[in-house]
Structure 1
Amino acid sequence: MNAETDALLKRIEALEAELDKAKLGQAAADGGDTLAYLQEMKGRFTAIADTAPVLIWLSGPDKRCYFFNKGWLNFTGRTMQEELGDGWAEGVHPDDFDRCLAIYISHFDARKEFSMDYRLRRHDGEYRWISDKGVPRYTATGVFVGYVGGCMDIHDQIMFSEQLEKKVEERTQRLRHSEQFLQSVLNTAGNSIASYEAIRNEAGKIMDFRIAYTNEDTFSKIGRDGGSIVGRTCREVYPGIFRNGVFEKLVKCIETGRPDNYQIDVRLEGELHWFDASIERLGDSVTVTARNISEELKSDLKLKDLNRQLAIQNSIFKHSEENANIGSYAWNVATNELECSDNLYRLIGHQPQEFTPSFEQFLSFLHPDDRHQAIRDGIRAYETRVIVQNTYRVITKSGEVKHFRLSGNFIREGENHLMIGALQDVTKDIELNDTLHKKNMELRRNNEELASFSYVASHDLQEPLRKIRAFSSRIMEKESQHFSDNTRDYFARIIAASARMQKLIEALLSYSGTSGINFKFVETDLNGIVDEVKSDLEELITEKQAVVEVQQLPVLPVIPVQFHQLMQNLIGNGIKYSSPDRRPEVCVTYAFTQDEPGQGPFCRISVTDNGIGFDQRYENRIFDLFQRLHGKNEYEGTGIGLAICKKIAQNHHGYIIAEGSPGIGSVFHVFIPATTQH
């Protein structure tokens, strides 16, 4: 049982003693029984126990259990009714039952703490080792009321401990004397043993070793030709020992007579293995015993990884409230007692347990403007037993203002009620919402300014222009014969400039009209729209003697009015910006394409012309407002038409690109999502 479980049991004992002490006076006055008041605390105990990371049980003075927390029931897969009384004993392994019962009864009668390990059947039928600790419980007046116990699943630790003890026991079996050591090795499967005779030069210096014996296990596999290695030299069979320091260890063992150890990695049949080798001297020879420890090393690595994961999980559990910026609380409405988690203290700038928490203390931290609302919410919650979820401003110890969202639930504890819940720091969310609100207000003002501009452009600006054009035209009609050539030229320029200004205002109104968000998409036959465009451009087509060819187009969900404007701009530009030395030709085609992996199909509508074209380096610039690549005296236009096309494509959740060559022509590709292909 770990320290965390001990702390939890002590907390439960302290909680019960404190509540019993608070109600003792009332119990004496009412003539009630202390045990009856302890029963009233069942609701609160259940709320705490069900969130604990251990299996908790509760028994009365009669040794029979009358409560199990959610963790116990989830572990056994049984209901509370099945476990009550002695029902829980059905899950204890038969081999452990008598021992556990004896410990439980003896300590229970002596009113002593106890700890015992036994196997308990899990919900899937597997028996798992658990560690169970029981602590006697007393009222504030010293009356014994039973035991509270907590259990932890230690099955994996016991299994690992048994394996580890087994391995330790195996390693301690090595004998110091060479004959006993050799016999032990020969009787141990999986070990390899070899004897090497020293080869000396004329001066008596050891130059190499000859293999005198091997059990033909691991050592024989290292032989280069796969045959027996007895009689061959180490330089021939194991040249690596002259580079990794093993040769020096063999020589030192013969010269000093002291045994030695080393670890070495060897590649066998393409796989790397680790060996723990021991060296002992036998006359002018050495005996080398090697044991494959590859699996042990792998197990150690797995254990380290498991320990690392366990440490991470413990850290997450311990600091989950900190990570979520949450502090939990439990408020007894009847006694006004308030318990808070450590992180709740931290959230308001205090150290854990720095002050005694209470509802009044909490109100003192609230912003003065929020206190009355919190009191009203508290009264309403008290009367209705329903938490009023709300957000309050709290002034921390350092003077910082934070926003906290209150949430929780009421639970019944006898005649009393407890409010258990959490406070979450939502300061960043509030700040982000405020920023978003300001941005929305700014956007609304911009939209209102745009609407105002549209009104001014459509009424106040056009009316003076119409009068300028009208009066200038009348003057030219009636008085031009009295004007000089310069005066007539000036009036002609005034009329032309006014006409251009009116066209520019109309184009701006058209562009702003494509920015709406309430346009309706309709399944539309695009051939009908193109026919209407050709009809609208009939006068221009006849004037330019243009040829407009249209491939049979599909049915797509579009905004009909805007798509008509899009096609009219593109086809009209192909005719208007034509080369003077050839007849204008415009071709409209389409194809379905997959724009990007994972995206739906697009319909690519292409409008190709043989007009004046443009330099490809201006492909993005031509879609900007008021951008013209030609002088106003060369070709008519306001520089807004293609910007409108770009806006319409975006309104259709698509986009437009252009390809051009000066003097050859242009191609405009409009990509529109196609949910269905017709």
Structure 2
Amino acid sequence: MGNFSREKEGQELSAGELQAAALANSVREPVLIVDQDQKIIAANQNFNSLFGFEKDEVLGLSVYSLNDHAWHLSVLKELLEEELPQKKQVQDLEVVYDLEYFGKLTCLVNATLLETGGEVFSMLTFKPQIAGHSSISQELEYLKTVRDVLMKAPAIICSLKGPTHIFEIANKKYCELIGQVDILGKPIKEVLPEIEGQGFIDILDEVFRTGEIYIGHEKPVSLESENGQVTSFLDFVYQPLKNEKDEITGIFVHAVDVTEKVLARKKIEESESELRNIMDTAPVIIWISDENNQNVYLNRKWYEFTGQTKEESFGMGWVEAVHPEDKLEAESRFVQAIKERTSYENFYRLRTAVDEYRWMFNQGSPKWDREGNFCGMVGAVVDVHEEVTKGQLVRENEHRTRSIVEEATVATAIYTGLEMKIELANEAMINLWGKDRSVIGKTLRESLPELEGQPFFQLLHDVYTSGKTYYGKEDRVDLMIDGEMQTGYFNFTYKPLRNEQGEIYGILNMAMDVTEQRLARKKIEESERRYQEIIHSSPALIATFEGPDNIIKIANDAILEAWGKGKDVIGKPFFAVLPELVEQGFEDIIAHVYESGEPFSVHEMPVDLVRYGKKETLYYNFVYYPQRDINGKITGIVDIATEVTPQAILNQKIKESESHFRQMADLMPEKVINTDVEGRVLFFNQHWLGYTGLSSEELTEKGWTSTIHPEDIAAYQEQWERALKSGENLDMEIRLKDKEGEYKWHLSRAEAIKDKTGAIKMWISTNTDIHRLKEEEKRKEDFLKVVSHELKTPVTSIKGYIQLLLAMLKSAQDKKVSALPLQPSLERIDHQVGRLTRLISEMLDISRIEENKLEMQKEIFSINELVTETVQDIKYTNTQHKIEVTHYSHCLVNADKDRIGQVLINLVTNAIKYSPESQDVEITIQEKPAGKVRVSIIDHGIGIDKENHVKIFKRFFRISEEDEDTYSGFGIGLYLTNEIIERHGGVVEVISEKGKGSEFSFILDTATQKDTEE
């Protein structure tokens, strides 16, 4: 067999090249085999002899260039480049070759297209058209040479004779493959009965019948051996053998055992499939790029999140999903990281499949191949929208006195050996230590000498020698950072790492800085201790369930701790371990994921768990993903969760606080503004928008001070600037322009809201409409001036005459006159006139009461839905009372939804407030005749005397008995309720008896067909 030029250079030959070379040397005729580039890869000795070449001389050369292009190239090119690729086999084509010194040689060329070892070759056999033939001795010598070559060849070779395929030749490799030696002269079915049904006999029969070569690629064959049946994978060729009459006499078999290659590839494929499956089931976006800035992989989460197709995201197409304001930075950071081959991280907004933008945290790291060559980047993108927006809300509520704190990845390090050599430490851990990357490769004792005298070296030694994981909960650590000893508190784990033999070779250290949380929880440390016990080294809780019965296959320490179970639950059905989750709907959720293959995810979901005999309600972010085998069949479920209880409670409180503030502000008659510490507007209540006719955005853009009268603006801004600097309250009268363009007088007040230290946190400003009051005051002044003038004139005159008469009486000489009681009478008249004068002066202090004006904004809505929504809102703040709603009917009404909601709130909160000894409140909704609907609120509280049933609807009326002193209120709730219902054309009714509870009902018209059409 001729050797290849690559073989001479020490390079390994491919399986296809080995098969081609063996095939060339097994054929009697001159044979030449070329690759797809028409380069010669094999030539047998008869070819070299026929055309005058030395051994291996032609290998690697172009077939067209032999002996300085001695072929008649047009015919040969047409054969190799046109006919053969189309026909696969060409017979008896005349090709002329110019032999040096011997003139032209005409050959009949038979060409066959071969595919072996995953490669495609062209095999050419040559029949020189010359007179005579070789002698018998030469023929025998040739056959002997061929037999020696076949027997010593590294390939699996045999020759089968006749239609029953009798073994004529079988080399050592073939005998080793089938595990037999004595096979010559026997038919293949007798030697290898086990291959019946595997297709090989049928293929041999077809080749013998048709004379067409058959090439098999990685075909499995199962053969009997001493150890039972063994399956191998073969690349092989069945080449028909012909006599001089061109009759098929047998089949030449040439094969290469590729079992190891096939099994290795399958293992790699399975591994890659499993990795790809894990990456596709991950709850975060995972991406991979090459070294040329081109995206080469995005997991399923990317396409689900952004709605992009693979074609749209390929290369740099993923950047199109980034917010326009963030796109340039995201792209430049990515390109720069690849250029510098460094890790990087950044935040940007990413467009979702529903065309919304969410904040994401992206982190990428360089990727290297086995030879250490840079081959791109790999990274992950995490949805942090809630955290970012929550930070923005907190920053606004705290008046931007703090900035958003970026979440860092968990600090992680690996130590090897008993001396604790730092084998690996991520940036988070290095930053935590206050060191740089020079610590890698050193021992922990060398890198952090300040830990001497602290318990950590001993803890690491104990974990390494005992194999028991250590969990640190808020342990104190003193570290030398920036030249100073600094104290921090950390949650961390020391987890032993084991090799395949189960021997401990190192320790995994994961840590989280909880210094701020610990300091903030000093006063409630004892109550929080139990929650700290479930914190694990990993922030993720992970488990896998197998099959439709959800058998627990894998459960990490974190999730076992979350369940409150031990490792003995592995292998048991999930819902047998946690039956309390069935009634909460989790069994149906997991069943749907398993059957449909659709993932299920949820944020901040409350879950009731019985842990260690005690029922607890916790909040989780979690996702259920289907787990698939290599064929795509669903085999189980992956459960990935994170506990977010504090975050969920904080979010609820923030939402409730903001909702209560805005609801209260919208109910106030004043125009309310909420500003930050620097005077920037955060909120306008509804009365501002209604008064100006502008939206909140328009009012913010123009500035509310643009509505102040030009004559008042300078004085107001001066006082407002003074208030911002001094923290003193503002109180002044100004004129504001309404939506009709008219200016009306308002009392403008601003008060600073301060924290316990006296620092200003925000400003609350109100503007109260006093325009009518100002007008009334002017009319009152005008009126009083007239009255005073008209009354004082006659009174003054009367008083003058009385005083004159009194003076005259004192000097009177007439005894008859003096005998009359004139003097005391006149003195009394003088006294009464003085009282009248004082009453006239007091009239200047009288003020008028404005009438209440309610505007109704009617719409058609479901009274049932409004009752349900209102009760749900009340339940959030009144958890002690049980409110049951019974829907006897479902009705639509045409009314002011907000006003009817206000009625419901007044009646339900009254029912709760006046029922201290009963926790049950009932609400019924029932359709009445004549197109009416009745809503009743029933409590079992203190009740109301019948004599007060009418009075309670009067303004400011409150029952004043001794046992009602403890109930707060101004006596206006029922007055407003009655006013609202009456303005809707309805009525309010009450049924109550002292000590036996109360039933308040209101009746409204149901919506008509005409209302619906309008």
| TM-score where L is the length of structure 2 | 0.19
Question: Which structure has the larger Rg?
Answer: 2
Q: Which has the higher strand share?
A: 2
With normalisation by structure 1, the TM-score equals 0.27
